Amino acid sequence: MKIYDFTVKDIENKDVSLSEYKGKVLLVVNGATGCGFTPQYDGLQKLFEKYHNQGLEILDFPSNQFLGQAPGTNEEIVGFCRLNFGVDFKQFSKIEVNGENEEPLYKYLKTTSEEYRNKETIEFYEKVKQFTPGIAENDIRWNFTKFLIDKEGNVVGRFAPNIAPEELEVHIEKLVKDEEIEIVCHPDFSDGCL
C-alpha cells in the first residue's frame, strides 16, 4: 500500500485521490489555527513558495483533537490561514488523527514511520501528556506533526511538532532533486529516533 491508494476530502468535502500527487514530494501536516505552533504556517508557506515549482506539495489536514485548537468551519480555517500567513498550499477538511474515527491516511502514516524527536520534543510531550490521556506510543501527540514523503510515495520522515518547517528544508531540497536523504536524530538525543 502507498499513500496514493488513499482518497481524502478537500475543504469543500469533495473526494481527492492522493494519486494526483504521484511524482511529487509531499509534506503532510495536521495543522491548527489556535496552537502555539500555528506560526509554523508561515514556515510551511515559505517552503511551498521556494520548492513548489520543483515538485513540492504541502497537504494540510487540520485537526481539532488537541485542546480544540482548530475551531471553526473548514472555510474559517482556510480564511484564517490565508489572511494571517498567506497560505496557498492545499488544505483539506478537518479530520481526526487518532482514535476510533481517525482518518485512514493517518493510520497508514503512523504505521509506516518513526518520529524524529529531540530533547525539546520529549520535554514538550511531558507537558502535554495530561491533555492526551490514553494516547498510544505511535499516535499523533499534537498539532503540526509532519510527514515527509518522497516522489515514489514512501514515507521517509516523521517529525515532531516542535521541529520547525525550516529544519526540513535540507531534506526537501534533496528530495526534489531526486537525491537520497538520511534522517538522523539530533546529536544530543542519545536514545535515537523513536
How large is the average pLDDT for residues 131-142? Answer: 85
> What is the Cα–Cα distance from 117 to 115, expressed in whole angstroms?
6
Give strand ranges (E) for the chain: 7-9, 15-17, 25-29, 56-60, 90-91, 115-116, 146-149, 155-159
* Active-site annotation holds for 185: no
Look at residues 55, 66, 27, 23 and name the one whose alpha carbon lies nearest to residue 43.
27
> What is the Cα–Cα distance from 146 to 144, expressed in whole angstroms?
6
Q: Taking the model in full, what pTM does it have? A: 0.92
> What is the Cα–Cα distance from 135 to 45, expressed in whole angstroms?
30
Average pLDDT over the chain, rounded to an integer? 90
pLDDT of residue 34: 94
| pLDDT band, residue 184 (cuts 50/70/90) | low
How large is the average pLDDT for residues 122-134? Answer: 84
When mean pLDDT is compared across 42-51, 57-66, 76-85, 177-186, the lowest value belongs to 177-186
Does the structure show a pLDDT above 70 at 192? no
In this structure, the strands spanning 25-29 and 56-60 are: parallel
Q: Which member of 35, 81, 185, 193 is catalytic? A: 35
Look at residues 117, 105, 148 and name the one whose alpha carbon lies nearest to residue 4.
105
Q: Is the separation of the CB atoms in 10 and 16 below 8 Å?
A: yes
Question: Which tens digit of pLDDT belongs to each residue from 67-81?
Answer: 999 999 999 999 999
| pLDDT band, residue 190 (cuts 50/70/90) | very low
Domains and CATH numbers, the chain: 3-176 (3.40.30.10)
Between 189 and 6, name the one with better pLDDT.
Answer: 6
Question: Which tens digit of pLDDT belongs to each residue from 97-107?
Answer: 999 999 999 99
